[in-house]
Amino acid sequence: MPTNVVSPIDGETLGQVEQMDAAAVDLAYNTARKALEEWRKVPSERRGRILLRAADLLETRAEDFAQTETLNTGKLLKDTRREAGRAAACFAYYGGLADKVTGDTLDVAGPFHTYTKREPYGVAVGVIPWNVPYVFAAKKIAPALAFGNVSLLKPAEETPLTALMLAEVLAEAGLPEGMAQVLTGGAETGKALVSDPRADLIVFTGADSTGRVIAKAAAENLTPIAMELGGKSPQIVFADADLDAALASVLLGAFSATGQMCIAGSRLLVQREVYDTFVARLSEAVAGLRVGDPREQRTQVGPQVTPGQRDKTLDMIRLGQDEGATLAADAPYPGAQSGGFYVPPTLFTEVNPEMRIMREEIFGPVLAVMPFATEEEAIELAHATDFGLAAGVWTKDLGRAHRMASRLRAGTIWLNTYRMLSDSVPFGGVDHSGYGREGGPEAVRLYTWTKSVWTSTEPGIPPGYDF
């Protein structure tokens, strides 16, 4: 049964996609299993060449992907153009890495030559959210294929368009049929996909609530799983920081992508000596943010991707006021007459660690700020949440910077910068932000398993093992 795909910019329908049912999922698995037998015969160097050809094709079609991604997600066009480059670079990175996966030779006692080798899991299932669908599709498919797996990808029901385009490009690059399939649909499609015992690996990016459901389904079949879940990341500004740079970074970390980032720096901690000055400047900057059509050059904040997320953000803004926080600044935004899913970028002060706006992931352009006095207090406040995905620290004191990096419980720490990502750097979280790592050498470990091989140079039963 087809469903409409709607643009969050104006609420207009972009097209329709199929809701794949259990029978379609079953067929996808049957196809994947047959494809896997053929893909395993393909030398790693040839797999890499296919991915490199895909990277070249994706670069030539970058503008098409960017325009489609902006229409489907409401993300700023300047951001989706950068992300189109990231997706192409992802295929280039893993294309180059495909034939460089190695094992180890191990020195063990006795007359043995012992080594390890990496083996692909088989059918790798990727499930991705709606906030950065093109990049996440690339990050799930490219490493799976590079290391000898086949890929089943389920994009979010609301934002499937660039994933479907990606599948077309991969076929054009020479990827044989069935090696990378995109399964469109909602919760029922996802449930059928992750509950199937033919899944050899599940890699999920999304909300922690959905992660719990997927983890339970995977556990029934003992399917290995890695999950990158939500975040409530602190940005910590010390009095000695470069406040101009910190201010720009705080705005970027909290309000870019309309706050719809797992790494959003949505909790701001500012040392008391500069708190009043910094918050005054920040309030003025937030009030001046330009909200509107993401295709326009002047726009800084676009719409939320879905009506449900828009409503949740508006509810959390009201909740913050009900909890006693002070709404220090917000920006004007297009109303309901626009047809789009817009919300006001909002800054809260006079908050405490127990307030929900300081503890829960909002996934919208809402920033809450608190003062702190010492490093110890900054650490305590930073850890006053269940999440542990990322954190930012601003200070000119190099020793303090590395002390904070050592003590903060989060998968990624940015020192005097924020929101920098690379396929060559591992990424993931701890606690309610999930487990497992994607990117860099960790991707090899994620998408392959270790096989140990013992060879006796003196065939027979070793001394001491006689019956």
320 with 312: CB under 8 angstroms? Answer: no
Q: 47: Cβ–Cβ under 8 A, 6 or more apart, which residues?
A: 39, 98, 99, 145, 146, 148
Q: Which of 135, 128, 144 is nearest to 180 (CA)?
A: 144
Helix (H) or strand (E) holding 32: helix 22-39
Q: Which amino acid appears at position 146 of this protein?
A: A
315 with 335: CB under 8 angstroms? Answer: no
Helix (H) or strand (E) holding 327: strand 326-330
- Rg from Cα positions in the chain: 24
Tokens of 441: 């050498």
The strand pairing partners of 259, in sequence order, are none
| Residues across the chain | 467
Q: Which of 53, 51, 79 is nearest to 65 (CA)?
A: 79
The rounded distance, in Å, linking the Cα atoms of 167 and 181 is 7
296 carries an active-site annotation = no
Which is catalytic among the residues 228, 323, 376, 442? 228
- DSSP helix/strand/coil, 286: helix
387 with 432: CB under 8 angstroms? Answer: yes
Give the residue numbers marked as catalytic. 228
